[in-house]
Amino acid sequence: MAAITYEHIKTCKQSGARLGIVHTPHGSFETPMFMPVGTLATVKTMSPEDLKDMGAKIILSNTYHLWLRPGNEIIKEAGGLHRFMNWDRPILTDSGGFQVFSLSDMRKITEEGVEFRNHLNGERLFLTPEKCMEIQNDLGPDIMMAFDECPPYPAEYDYLKASVERTSRWAERCLKAHKRPEDQGLFGIVQGGEYEDLRRQSAEDLISLDFPGYAVGGLSVGEPKEVMNRVLEFTTPLLPADKPRYLMGVGSPDSLVDGSIRGIDMFDCVLPTRIARNGTLMTSTGRLVVRNAKYARDYRPLDENCDCHVCQNYSRAYIRHLVKCGETFGFRLTTYHNLYFLLKLMENIRQAIREDRLLDYREEFFEAYGFNKP
Ligand SMILES: CNc1nc2cc3nc(NC)[nH]c3cc2c(=O)[nH]1
Ligand SMILES: [Zn+2]
């Protein structure tokens, strides 16, 4: 019995988006779904109880960060990441490749793997597909990601082609090194930049290795949204319809809608939690920067259309006060609301798919949020 299975429920007649369920050893979740990011084995300022209250079904943690601190050996000794952080629902860990490219100032990529400096103390480190699998096998997430190269944007065609071919060879090495396929699903990551032939080559290489799920990588790295949408339009149809599709590092509310329309099932992004910690909120009528003086005597909730615990009990004036004073409780309130907002958006997307009206919903949501404003 495979660790991860995808159950297709229906396809939206209006948009082509799909409604599904992903089954994992730690439970199931409906898709399209957003995964809160818990880099260091915590979704910053949120407890597991907060996450369950808001309806979070699966969270993401970072292999690179946990390898460095506290170390995969300690988490393994503690009984794995679920036990260590007291989260008994599904967990996905990324494979560290992206952090190495985005965090480390020095890196050398060879066939063997990637040599780089520890961003905390500058020591030289070496990450290979085999090491990446060992760490993730120790952490014990339900879904693991293959070790890949996320190329910079933009990148030369020849560089991208060589990178795709190496990422495919690395994916095969990951499969060979995977010790626990019966209780951890390993997803392949499709690369290829904005070139249709390279995306096709990457997808075909990975599909021949028969992964239980596939991610679309190499996006949300600074490219215009039209480029991301175009790449998705010709990439997701290449992927098996009976497996989950995960768009890495996405994203903003409009990208969650547009990615769902283009056949994506799973999303992750640090945006909601990161902007929450500087007092920027996602609301049904657009972004709200609660530090702004105009909210000093504004006793309304952050979002008058939000039914979350924060919007039922606290005012803009109070949250502005806490955020300006740097009170931790203020960041708990802003983080809770932003995550709730995105999880609610995903439920609205799933409901629009059930009613075959996701394109209509897109128009309504974009109009209210202000995405249509020039
Ligand atoms: C773990 N491998 C891997 N992670 C990623 C994380 C990302 N996060 C973003 N935007 C925030 N783009 C990403 C691409 C990749 C990617 O291509 N590969
Ligand atoms: Zn709210």
Longest dimension (CA), the chain: 61
pLDDT at site 177: 98
Q: For a pocket test of ligand 1, which of 100, 153, 221, 246 has the largest count of ligand atoms closer than 8 A to its C-beta?
A: 221
Q: Which ligand is nearest to the CA of 187?
A: 1
Check if the beta carbon of residue 307 is closer than 8 Å to that of residue 340.
no
pLDDT at site 96: 86
pLDDT at site 279: 98
Ligand 1 atom 5 nearest Cα: 98
Check if the beta carbon of residue 27 is closer than 8 Å to that of residue 3.
no
Percent of the chain with pLDDT over 90: 95
pLDDT at site 291: 98
Give the mean pLDDT of the chain.
97
Ligand 1 atom 16 nearest Cα: 217
What is the edge-to-edge ordering of all strands in the sheet holding 18-24? Answer: 5-11, 18-24, 27-31
The minimum-distance atom of ligand 1 relative to the CA of 148 is 2
Residues with beta carbon < 5 A to ion ligand 2?
Answer: 306, 308, 310-311, 337
In the structure, what pLDDT confidence band is assigned to residue 123 with cuts at 50, 70 and 90? very high
Per residue in 138-165, pLDDT tens?
999 999 999 999 999 999 999 999 999 9
The minimum-distance atom of ligand 1 relative to the CA of 218 is 17
DSSP 220-249: SSS--HHHHHHHHHHHGGGS-TTS-EEETT
What is the edge-to-edge ordering of all strands in the sheet holding 114-117? Answer: 107-109, 114-117, 124-127
What is the Å distance from ligand 2's center to 343 Cα? Answer: 11
What is the Å distance from ligand 1's center to 282 Cα? Answer: 23
pLDDT at site 105: 67
Nearest alpha carbon to residue 241 among 17, 3, 2, 15? 17
Give the three-state DSSP class for 209: coil
Average pLDDT over residues 279-295: 98
What is the rounded distance in angstroms from the CA atom of residue 12 to the CA atom of residue 356?
5
| Annotation marks residue 258 as catalytic | no
Q: Which ligand is nearest to the CA of 301?
A: 2
The minimum-distance atom of ligand 1 relative to the CA of 150 is 17
Residue of 53, 94, 307, 356 marked catalytic: 94
| Annotation marks residue 268 as catalytic | yes
pTM for the model: 0.98
Residues touching ligand 1 (Cβ under 6 Å) are: 94-95, 97-98, 145, 148, 150, 189, 217-221, 248-249
Nearest alpha carbon to residue 341 among 296, 300, 311? 311
Average pLDDT over residues 353-370: 97
What is the token pair recorded at 178? Answer: 């995977």
In the structure, what pLDDT confidence band is assigned to residue 106 with cuts at 50, 70 and 90? confident
Q: Determine which of 2-11, 56-65, 114-123, 233-242 has the lowest per-residue pLDDT on average.
A: 114-123
Contacts of 170 (CB under 8 A, 6+ apart): 129, 146, 147, 148, 149
In the structure, what pLDDT confidence band is assigned to residue 99 with cuts at 50, 70 and 90? confident
In the structure, what pLDDT confidence band is assigned to residue 107 with cuts at 50, 70 and 90? confident
Interface predicted TM-score (ipTM) of this complex, two decimals: 0.99
What is the token pair recorded at 267? Answer: 């999303």
What is the Å distance from ligand 1's center to 362 Cα? Answer: 25
Q: Taking 80 as the threshold, does the pLDDT of residue 100 lie above it?
A: no
In the structure, what pLDDT confidence band is assigned to residue 372 with cuts at 50, 70 and 90? confident
Average pLDDT over residues 227-242: 98
Average pLDDT over residues 281-294: 98
Residue of 148, 268, 303, 360 marked catalytic: 268
Nearest alpha carbon to residue 150 among 131, 134, 164? 164
Region class of 246: left (phi > 0), else alpha (psi between -120 and 50), else beta: beta
What is the rounded distance in angstroms from the CA atom of residue 183 to the CA atom of residue 75?
17
Residue 39: half-sphere exposure toward Cβ, Cα within 13 Å = 15
What is the Å distance from ligand 2's center to 281 Cα? Answer: 9
What is the Å distance from ligand 2's center to 211 Cα? Answer: 38
In the structure, what pLDDT confidence band is assigned to residue 248 with cuts at 50, 70 and 90? very high
What is the token pair recorded at 34? Answer: 């957003």
Helix residue ranges, H only, the chain = 48-54, 63-68, 72-77, 81-85, 97-103, 129-139, 157-177, 196-208, 225-235, 253-261, 271-276, 309-313, 316-325, 328-354, 358-369
Q: Taking 70 as the threshold, does the pLDDT of residue 313 lie above it?
A: yes
Check if the beta carbon of residue 285 is closer than 8 Å to that of residue 348.
no
Average pLDDT over residues 210-234: 97
pLDDT at site 257: 98
Q: Taking 90 as the threshold, does the pLDDT of residue 103 lie above it?
A: no
Check if the beta carbon of residue 337 is closer than 8 Å to that of residue 276.
yes
